[in-house]
Structures are given as C-alpha cells and as structure tokens.
C-alpha cells in the first residue's frame, strides 16, 4: 500500500511517540494551547489523496507534535489502543485484502451515465467522536445506564451458563425415558458445551462487523426457541440436536459480553467488570444442578428443566431487545452517520466501519487458521490453553462426580446433592474478591511503569490458584469415598477447587490478552475452542473413571495431572519475556527501543519477521478533542 508524504511522516511520528523514543519537537507550544491527536481525519488516505489529485510535498512534523499530545491526553491514548485492537481484529479491515469481484470489470453506472468524480476529500465526510467526553461514546454513558446494561447482560450470560449444566440432573431420567445408557443421556450436556466451542466462530466476527447488540438479540431468541424444543422433544435425536444448537446460540453472550464491558468501562474499572462477568460464567453451571435436582425429583419432571431455562432465555431476549444499546464504537459511529445522513440529506457522510468489505479468505484466516496457528505454534497459548482446558473440563466432570459421592455414598437425593456445589460457588466468590483486591496493586505497578502492562504481573495468583485447585481435588477424593466421613468434609473441598478454578481461568485469559494485544481475540478463540472440547469430553468418561478406579484413586489421578500443570505459570513467570521475544505474534518491548508490533498479516509466514506498523485508520474511532476539552487538559 502506497503512502503519501503526510502518511509516512505521521506514522513515523506516532511510532516514536508510542515507543517513547522520539526526539523533542523543534516547535514548542504553550501548555494551554490546543494540540491535535492524530486521528483518521488528520491522515489523508491514499484513495482520497490520489483521487483528489493532491501532490506530495514535504511536511515538517513540528506542525503536528504528536508526542506531547499523547502524553497529555491519556484518555485518548487509551482509546487509540482500543481502536487499534478493534480494527485490526475486524474481518475485512486488512487493507491488502482483495474483493471477491476485484478481477471483474466495473459494472456500468446505468442510464447512460459515466462514473462520477471521487469525493474531493473523503476524510472530511468521515464521522468521528467529538472529543474524549462525547456522550455518544459508551465509556461516557451515565453510570446508571452502564450498570443497567451490565446487569441485563450479566443475567443473559448466567442464563446461558445455567442452561448448560441444569440438564446434568435430568440425564438419568432422560436415559430411562428413551431407553438408553446414562452415558448417552450425558450427551445432552456434552453436545451443548460442544455448541459453546463452535458458536464463537460466528459470533466473534459478527460482533466486530455488525456490533454487539444484533448478535446477542438474535442469538438469545434462537437459544430460547431451541431450548423449548428440547422440552417438547418426542425422541432422543431431536433432544440432542436441539441441545447442540441451544449451546451454539448460547455461546453468543459468553463470547460478546466481555467485549461489551471493554467497550463501556475504561482501564481503571474494566478489571472489576470482567471479573464480575467471569464469576457469573462459572457460578451459573454450579447453581444449576441443585435447581435441576429439585425439579426432576418433583412432580414436574425433567422436561421442566428445559421449560424454565427457555423462559429465562425469552426474558433475557426481551430485556436485550428493549434496553440494550449498541456499545461497539465503530458501529456507534455508523449509527451516528446514518442519523446525520437522514437529517442533512448529505449522502457522503459515513463511518470508517462502512468502508469494510468482508473477505471470505480473511474470515477463515482470522477465525480459524490464525487461532489454530496460535494454539499449535505459540508455547504460551498452547500450554495455558491445555491448563485452562483441563480445569474447565473438570468443572463439567464434577457434575457427574459430585452425585457419585453425595448420592452414591451419602444417600442424598438429586436436589440435596446439587447443594454440595455451593462450596465451589463460595470458593469462586472468594477468588473474585481476591482478584479484585489485587487491582490497586496492579494499578500502582502500571503507573510506575508509565502505563505499560507487564503480562507476568498476572501470574502469581494463578500459581496460588493452581496449588489450591490441586489440593481441593485430593481433599474431595480422599474424604468423599467413605460414608463414615461427614458429608460436609468433601463439600468443603469446593472452597479450594472453586478458588483455583476462577483464579486460573480469569488471570490466564488476562495474561493472553496482555501478551498478544491485537491478536488477543485469536488467542482467546484458540483457548475457547480447546477448553470447550475438554468440557464436552470429560463428562462422558467420568462415570467409568470414578467407578473403575474408585473415587479416591480417580481423584488422585486427576489431582496428579493438576499438580503436573502447576509449573506452567511458574515457567512463564520466569521465561515469559524471552518466549514472547521469539514470537511472530506477541509484541515485545525492550528498554530504550521501539516496541515491536506485529501486523495483522504477520502470522501468514511463521518465519517472517513482523513489521512495525501503526494503523491510523483505526484512530478514526477515537474521539477528537474539542476546544473545551483541550482547555481542561
């Protein structure tokens, strides 16, 4: 892609500004004078400059002192990073991708007309945010609106996670009604979780093209329809197929809601929001078994486990439809541009997101090929994904193991057995509080490092969680196989297991995000794929494992594997920076040197040295300063 002189100078200046290595500008402004942050509107794209016949001319960068500007406006700098990540992960954003019809001749304009001349300056028609305090930007919404949106989406997420495991209480009754083995009945859980694995392939790119609201609303309606279809299924194959598609559509909030929180909350509060969201994702599956247990033990029967969850889904759909507003900044600008076009009748007004054309090859690369390359060729992604997949698989294996202990050994009914999961729920709440309590420490470290996060800061609590999780498994097995040991003892083991589950899961994902930045979506997609496969497979062999080896020895085997995985975060704590330095995907920072930022294409050839690039088109979604905002700075 060719750049004119303005583009080259701006890229060079902003790269220097971000790396902290730029020389002092030759031209100094007064401290209260307005300086511009480089955005999409201040960068002439190749198409607009060439179309308008603009000639190249040298530009002195003293006229655009980007370095001091970025230092003085941390809000806008933060949003530049966010916009860079969003645009680089958006399907069709790659400027090198070609249209599927690019080899065909242009169609006739029609009515005997010739093609019109290009717009005089396309960037003049691009809609942007009006300063860091623009009320259109989701981070500037009133706190009440943010909390209402977060509450609705939290309920939506818990509904999907709750539905995934409530079926576990129904499996013996389903197997009895349809005349199959219990393992075949467990397929209702496994296929739902398998839907969790495949759903993000669609929902993640759709949320980056059409925004967050549309996929969530459509998916929750479909999720509810397929869940109620499970309730009225007349044969086993209908039930299992509908469970898979309910999981496929239920994956939408699990995939998108974390991104919605990132859209609404800034760096100071995002950690709290994401932690709360993750607690909902994990506590949902653990709250469901005792509810499902009491339902199947009552006169209602197993079908009402599906009726009730479908009602929950329809309520979530109605709340999302009526009260959820769009939060993805590029699509917010699309809506803003549409309103301006309608009210001004100026057809040229548009947002950068509307210039994106979906390329099928790029869709496959970003949502399947690249995550798989990260999963198999990046040691950090590979090992952490195996660790997270194992503990996530055990979460669903416990749905089978707990009934074997509390029903098989202690004689509980299905509902009472489900109450034993409250130990794990409390352990996860403790883990959430522990993670939140580290936020002030993390913010101090971040401030002391000039706002540059070090991924390894996330790892100490993972190490602690790994030890706790291993201890919880041994505790559960060796206290749960004998009826003469009080039932509260194995139930309390959930305190350690639940604490370890949440701390490992949450901080591992944070570590992947910090390590891979613009490729974080692909790293998390790889992690999600593997952990969902584990979660779908583990319940299928749980009964054979615990009945074949015995509760105590099966737990010893699982605890031994968990113990073998504990050194993984220790390895990355000691050698993580060296491993990332050799990565083709992970940006690395060296003292006194510019930051190595891989391009979105740098994964195409694993031997290719990543390029340093700043995507200025992404900055079109960053709010521009107004005079009032600048005077406050």
pLDDT of 207: 83
Choosing from 72, 93, 123, the residue where a domain stops is 72
Measure the CA–CA gap between 378 and 47, rounded to whole angstroms. Answer: 37
**Residue 334 shares a structural domain with residue 391:** no
**Residue 349 shares a structural domain with residue 429:** no
pLDDT, tens digit, 9 for 90 and up, residues 562-580: 999 999 999 999 988 888 8
369 located within any domain: no
pLDDT, tens digit, 9 for 90 and up, residues 139-160: 899 989 998 999 999 899 889 9
- φ and ψ of 248, to 5 deg: -60, -50
**Residue 351 shares a structural domain with residue 498:** no
Q: Specify the long-range contacts of residues 596-599, CB closer than 8 Å, at least 24 apart.
A: 597/517, 597/518, 598/518, 598/519
pLDDT, tens digit, 9 for 90 and up, residues 331-349: 888 899 989 999 998 888 8
Q: Using 50, 70 and 90 to split pLDDT, how confident is the model at 30?
A: very low
pLDDT, tens digit, 9 for 90 and up, residues 382-404: 999 999 999 988 988 888 888 88
Percent of the residues in the chain that have a pLDDT greater than 70, as a whole number: 75
The single residue listed with the structure tokens 């060719």 is 2
pLDDT of 561: 94
pLDDT of 98: 56
How many CA atoms, within 13 angstroms, populate the side-chain half-sphere of residue 281?
24
pLDDT of 58: 41
pLDDT of 249: 94
**Residue 260 shares a structural domain with residue 398:** no
Q: Confirm if 518 and 600 have CB atoms less than 8 A apart.
A: yes
Residue 601 clears pLDDT 70, i.e. is over it: no
CATH of the domain at 299: 1.20.1250.20
Percent of the residues in the chain that have a pLDDT greater than 90, as a whole number: 21
Q: Using 50, 70 and 90 to split pLDDT, how confident is the model at 471?
A: very high
Mean pLDDT of 506-522: 78
The SS3 call for residue 102 is coil
Q: Using 50, 70 and 90 to split pLDDT, how confident is the model at 603?
A: very low
Q: Using 50, 70 and 90 to split pLDDT, how confident is the model at 43?
A: very low
Q: Which residues of 210-239 are buried (b: 16+ CB within 10 A; e: fewer)?
A: bbbbebbbbbbbbbbbbbbbbbebeebeeb
For the chain, the domain total comes to 3
pLDDT of 92: 53
Choosing from 72, 87, 121, the residue where a domain stops is 72
pLDDT, tens digit, 9 for 90 and up, residues 352-385: 887 777 777 777 766 677 778 888 888 898 999 9
268 located within any domain: yes
605 located within any domain: yes
pLDDT of 142: 92
**Residue 294 shares a structural domain with residue 381:** no
Mean pLDDT of 254-269: 80
Mean pLDDT of 54-65: 38
114 located within any domain: no
pLDDT of 93: 54
pLDDT of 46: 35
Selection from 21-25, 457-461, 527-531 with the highest mean pLDDT: 457-461
370 located within any domain: no
Q: Confirm if 571 and 462 have CB atoms less than 8 A apart.
A: no
**Residue 399 shares a structural domain with residue 334:** no
pLDDT of 522: 72
**Residue 409 shares a structural domain with residue 317:** no
pLDDT, tens digit, 9 for 90 and up, residues 186-231: 888 889 988 988 888 788 778 878 888 999 999 999 999 999 999 9
**Residue 62 shares a structural domain with residue 172:** no
564 located within any domain: yes
Average pLDDT, the chain: 76
Residue of 176 and 46 predicted with greater confidence: 176
**Residue 348 shares a structural domain with residue 416:** no
Choosing from 72, 96, 119, the residue where a domain stops is 72
**Residue 445 shares a structural domain with residue 576:** yes
Which residues, 6 or more positions from 202, have their beta carbon under 8 angstroms from its beta carbon? none
Structural domain of 13: 1-72
118 located within any domain: no
pLDDT of 219: 94
**Residue 307 shares a structural domain with residue 400:** no
pLDDT of 621: 42
**Residue 9 shares a structural domain with residue 54:** yes
pLDDT of 615: 40
pLDDT of 310: 94
438 located within any domain: yes
Measure the CA–CA gap between 254 and 252, rounded to whole angstroms. Answer: 5
Measure the CA–CA gap between 147 and 58, rounded to whole angstroms. Answer: 50
pLDDT of 97: 55
Q: What is the dihedral of CA 48, 52, 56, 61, to 10 degrees?
A: -50
Query: Terminus-to-terminus CA distance in the chain, angstroms?
Result: 36
């Amino acid at each position: 892609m060719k750049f004119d002189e303005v583009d080259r100078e701006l890229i060079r200046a902003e790269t220097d500004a971000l790396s902290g290595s730029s020389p002092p500008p030759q031209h100094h402004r007064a401290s209260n004078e307005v300086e511009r942050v480089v955005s999409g509107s201040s960068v002439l794209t190749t198409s607009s400059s060439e179309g308008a016949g603009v000639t190249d001319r040298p530009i002195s960068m003293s006229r655009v002192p980007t370095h001091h500007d970025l230092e003085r406006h941390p809000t806008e700098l933060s949003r530049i990073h966010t916009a860079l990540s969003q645009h680089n992960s958006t399907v069709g954003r790659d400027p090198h991708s070609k249209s599927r019809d690019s080899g065909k001749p242009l169609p006739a304009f029609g009515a005997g007309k010739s093609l019109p001349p290009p717009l005089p300056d396309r960037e003049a028609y691009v809609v942007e945010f009006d300063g860091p305090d623009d009320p259109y930007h989701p981070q500037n919404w009133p706190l009440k609106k943010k909390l209402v949106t977060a509450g609705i989406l939290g309920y939506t997420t818990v509904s999907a996670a709750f539905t995934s495991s409530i079926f576990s209480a129904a499996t013996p009754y389903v197997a009895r009604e349809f005349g199959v083995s219990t393992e075949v009945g467990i397929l209702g859980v496994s296929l739902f979780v398998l839907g969790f694995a495949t759903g993000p392939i669609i929902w993640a790119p759709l949320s980056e093209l059409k925004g967050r609201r549309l996929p969530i609303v459509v998916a929750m309606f479909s999720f509810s329809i397929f869940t109620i279809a499970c309730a009225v299924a007349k044969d086993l194959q209908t039930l299992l197929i509908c469970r898979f598609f309910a999981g496929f559509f239920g994956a939408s909030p699990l995939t998108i809601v974390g991104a919605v929180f990132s859209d609404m909350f800034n760096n100071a509060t995002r950690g709290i929001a994401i932690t709360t969201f993750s607690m909902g994702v994990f506590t949902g599956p653990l709250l469901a078994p005792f509810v499902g247990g009491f339902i199947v033990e009552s006169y209602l029967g197993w079908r009402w486990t599906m009726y009730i969850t479908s009602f929950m889904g329809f309520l979530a759909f109605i709340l999302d439809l009526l009260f959820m507003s769009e939060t993805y900044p590029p699509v917010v600008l699309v809506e803003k541009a549409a309103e301006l076009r309608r009210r001004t009748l100026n057809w040229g007004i548009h947002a950068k997101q509307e210039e994106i054309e979906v390329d099928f090859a790029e869709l496959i690369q970003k949502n399947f090929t690249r995550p798989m390359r990260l999963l198999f060729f990046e040691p950090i992604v590979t090992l952490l994904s195996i660790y997270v997949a194992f503990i996530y698989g055990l979460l669903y294996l416990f749905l089978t193991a707990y009934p074997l202990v509390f029903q098989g050994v202690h004689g509980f009914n299905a509902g009472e057995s489900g109450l034993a999961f409250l130990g794990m729920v409390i352990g996860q709440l403790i883990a959430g509080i522990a993670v939140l309590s580290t936020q002030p420490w993390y913010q101090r470290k971040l401030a002391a490092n000039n706002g540059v996060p070090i991924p390894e800061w996330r790892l100490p609590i993972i190490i602690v969680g790994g030890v706790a999780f291993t201890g919880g498994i041994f505790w559960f097995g060796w206290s749960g196989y004998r009826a003469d040991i009080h039932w509260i003892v194995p139930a309390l083991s959930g305190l350690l297991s639940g604490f370890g589950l949440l701390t490992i899961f949450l901080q591992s994902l944070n570590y992947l995000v910090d390590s891979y930045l613009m490729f974080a979506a692909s790293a998390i997609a790889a992690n999600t794929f593997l952990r969902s496969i584990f979660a779908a497979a583990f319940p299928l062999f749980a009964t054979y494992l615990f009945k074949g080896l015995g509760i105590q020895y099966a737990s010893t085997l699982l605890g031994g594997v968990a113990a073998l995985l504990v050194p993984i975060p220790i390895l990355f704590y000691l050698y993580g920076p060296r491993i990332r330095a050799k990565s083709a995907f992970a940006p690395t920072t060296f003292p006194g040197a510019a930051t190595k930022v891989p391009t979105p294409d740098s994964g195409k050839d694993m031997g290719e040295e990543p390029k340093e690039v700043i995507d200025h088109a992404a900055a079109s979604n960053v709010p521009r300063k107004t005079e009032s905002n600048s005077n406050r700075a």
